[in-house]
C-alpha cells in the first residue's frame, strides 16, 4: 500500500488497472491510526512545513484533536492499493516459480506500478499525450509513505488547496492506458517484467548495461542491435523524435552485454577503448586512464538509458510497429534482417 499526496474522499475504490489489480481508495481507521503515529514522529522532529500544513488542515476542516485528525485521514487521504479480487486466476499465479511465489500480490508492487506510470505516463516529458499540468506532476512525484518499507516523505502532507480531482484522474487515465495495452497474457507478462525491472534504480555499472539490454531484448527479441538500428532509422528519425545514433553504438552495446553475461570482464575495457576511438566526441582523450574510461562508459550508459525510455514509450504509442520490427527475419548468410514475417 502506498500513501499518496492526494486528498479526496473516495466512497468506493477507484479502479486504476483491472489487469494489475490496482485501485485508489482511502485508509481504514487502523491504517489511518498507524499512519498518524508516523506523522507525529515527523512533526515532533520540528519539521516546520509539516506543522504548517497541519495547521491549515485544522483551520479549514475544524480538526481539533488527534481523534478528529485520524478520522479526517481515514476519510480523505488517498492510497494506492492492491485488490486481489480484480485479478484473474492466471494473473494471480503467473510465473510463480520465477518470482518465488504469487507474482502480482507482493506488497511492494504498488510502488513499482506508481513509479512506472509516473515515469512513462504522468511525469514531465513522458511523450504519451496525457498533458498533465506541472503542478499535478509535482504533487504526484513523491508518494508520502510506503507501508512496506516505512519510507517517509511527509513534508508535502495536506497541501489541501491543490486540484486533487485532476490528480486522481491523471492516475486513473494512466491505468487505462496500461489496461488497453494488455490484450493477452503475453502482454501482461511483458509489462509485468518491464514494471519490475525498470523500478530498480541503478548507478552506471556493468549490471546497468546488462539490465537495460535485457529490457530491449524483452521488447525486440533476438538480434537487438540490428533491430535497434532499424527502429531508429525507420521510426524515430523519420518522425524527428531523437537524433541519429550510429550503428557502432548498437554494436558496442551488444558486445559489452555479451562480455558481461559470459563473464569476459577483461575484454570490456577493450570494447570501451574501441568505441571511443571511433567517435570524434572522445578525440580529446590522449591517455586512456580511469577517468577517460569512466567518461566513455558513462556516455554509453546514458545513451542506453535514453534508448530504453524512448522504446518503452513507443511500445505504448504503437505496439503494432514495435511487433513488426520484432518479427523481422534474420539471414545467417548475409547477417542482415530480411523483412517482416507473416
The answer on 44 and 186 residing in a single domain is yes
Averaged pLDDT of the chain: 77
Q: What percent of the chain has pLDDT over 70?
A: 70
| Residue 231: all three cell numbers together | 527502429
What is the tens place of the pLDDT at every residue in 199-218? 777 788 888 898 899 999 99
The answer on 129 and 50 residing in a single domain is yes
The answer on 263 and 155 residing in a single domain is no
The answer on 166 and 75 residing in a single domain is yes
Q: What would the mean pLDDT of 63-72 be, rounded to a whole number?
A: 80
| pLDDT value for 126 | 52
- Report H helices in 45-184: 48-61, 66-76, 89-92, 96-99, 109-117, 134-140, 164-181
> Lowest mean pLDDT: which of 8-22, 157-171, 232-246?
232-246
Of the three residues 175, 198, 221, the one that is the final residue of a domain is 198
What is the tens place of the pLDDT at every residue in 272-282? 888 888 777 88
> Lowest mean pLDDT: which of 64-68, 73-77, 315-319?
64-68
The SS3 assignment for 306 reads helix
319-326 helix and 206-220 helix, angle to the nearest 10 degrees: 100
- Number of domains into which the chain is organized: 2
Would the pLDDT of 82 be above 50? Answer: yes
Of the three residues 144, 177, 198, the one that is the final residue of a domain is 198
- E strands within the chain? 2-7, 14-17, 22-26, 77-82, 145-146, 151-152, 328-331, 336-340
Angstrom distance (rounded) from CA 146 to CA 20: 19
Whether the CA torsion 119, 120, 126, 132 is positive or negative: it is negative
What is the tens place of the pLDDT at every residue in 304-313? 888 888 889 8
pLDDT band at 23 (very low <50, low <70, confident <90, very high): very high
Q: What's the domain range around 218?
A: 206-340
The answer on 254 and 141 residing in a single domain is no
**Better-predicted residue by pLDDT, 81 or 286:** 81
The answer on 119 and 28 residing in a single domain is yes
Angstrom distance (rounded) from CA 5 to CA 120: 19
The answer on 191 and 210 residing in a single domain is no
> Do residues 50 and 157 make contact, with C-beta atoms less than 8 angstroms apart?
yes
Would the pLDDT of 21 be above 70? Answer: yes
Q: What would the mean pLDDT of 244-254 be, rounded to a whole number?
A: 76
The answer on 248 and 193 residing in a single domain is no
The answer on 157 and 271 residing in a single domain is no
The answer on 168 and 73 residing in a single domain is yes
The answer on 257 and 127 residing in a single domain is no
**What helix, strand, coil percent values describe the chain, rounded to 5?**
60, 10, 30
| pLDDT value for 55 | 64
Of the three residues 154, 182, 198, the one that is the final residue of a domain is 198
Q: pTM above 0.85? A: no
Angstrom distance (rounded) from CA 298 to CA 308: 15
What is the tens place of the pLDDT at every residue in 177-191? 999 999 888 888 889
| pLDDT value for 17 | 94
The answer on 276 and 153 residing in a single domain is no
Question: For residue 213, how many C-alpha atoms fall within 13 Å in the half-sphere facing its CB?
Answer: 25
Amino acid at each position: 500500500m502506498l500513501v499518496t499526496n492526494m486528498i479526496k474522499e473516495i466512497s468506493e475504490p477507484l479502479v486504476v488497472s483491472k489487469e494489475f489489480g490496482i485501485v485508489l481508495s482511502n485508509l481504514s481507521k487502523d491504517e489511518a491510526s498507524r499512519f498518524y503515529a508516523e506523522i507525529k514522529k515527523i512533526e515532533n522532529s520540528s519539521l516546520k512545513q509539516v506543522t504548517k500544513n497541519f495547521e491549515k488542515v485544522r483551520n479549514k476542516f475544524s480538526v481539533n484533536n488527534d481523534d478528529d485528525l485520524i478520522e479526517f485521514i481515514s476519510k480523505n487521504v488517498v492510497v494506492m492499493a492492491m485488490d486481489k479480487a480484480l485479478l484473474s486466476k492466471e494473473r494471480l499465479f503467473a510465473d510463480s516459480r520465477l518470482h518465488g511465489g504469487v507474482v502480482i500480490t507482493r506488497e511492494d508492487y504498488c510502488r513499482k506500478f506508481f513509479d512506472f506510470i509516473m515515469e512513462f505516463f504522468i511525469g514531465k516529458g513522458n511523450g504519451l499525450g496525457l498533458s498533465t499540468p506541472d503542478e499535478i506532476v509535482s504533487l504526484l512525484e513523491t508518494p508520502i509513505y510506503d507501508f512496506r518499507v516505512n519510507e517517509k516523505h511527509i513534508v508535502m502532507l495536506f497541501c489541501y488547496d491543490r486540484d486533487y480531482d485532476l490528480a486522481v484522474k491523471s492516475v486513473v487515465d494512466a491505468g487505462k492506458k496500461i489496461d488497453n495495452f494488455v490484450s493477452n497474457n503475453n502482454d501482461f507478462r511483458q509489462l509485468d517484467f518491464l514494471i519490475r525491472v525498470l523500478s530498480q534504480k541503478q548507478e552506471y555499472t556493468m549490471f546497468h548495461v546488462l539490465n537495460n539490454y535485457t529490457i530491449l531484448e524483452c521488447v525486440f527479441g533476438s538480434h537487438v542491435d540490428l533491430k535497434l538500428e532499424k527502429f531508429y532509422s525507420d521510426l524515430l528519425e523519420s518522425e524527428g523524435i531523437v537524433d541519429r545514433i550510429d550503428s557502432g553504438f548498437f554494436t558496442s552495446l551488444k558486445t559489452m552485454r555479451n562480455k558481461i553475461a559470459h563473464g569476459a570482464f577483461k575484454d570490456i575495457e577493450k570494447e570501451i577503448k574501441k568505441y571511443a576511438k571511433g567517435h570524434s566526441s572522445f578525440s580529446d582523450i590522449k591517455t586512456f586512464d580511469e577517468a577517460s574510461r569512466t567518461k566513455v562508459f558513462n556516455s554509453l550508459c546514458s545513451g542506453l538509458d535514453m534508448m530504453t525510455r524512448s522504446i518503452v514509450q513507443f511500445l505504448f504509442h504503437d505496439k503494432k510497429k514495435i511487433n513488426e520490427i520484432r518479427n523481422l527475419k534474420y539471414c545467417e548468410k548475409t547477417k542482415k534482417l530480411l523483412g517482416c514475417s507473416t
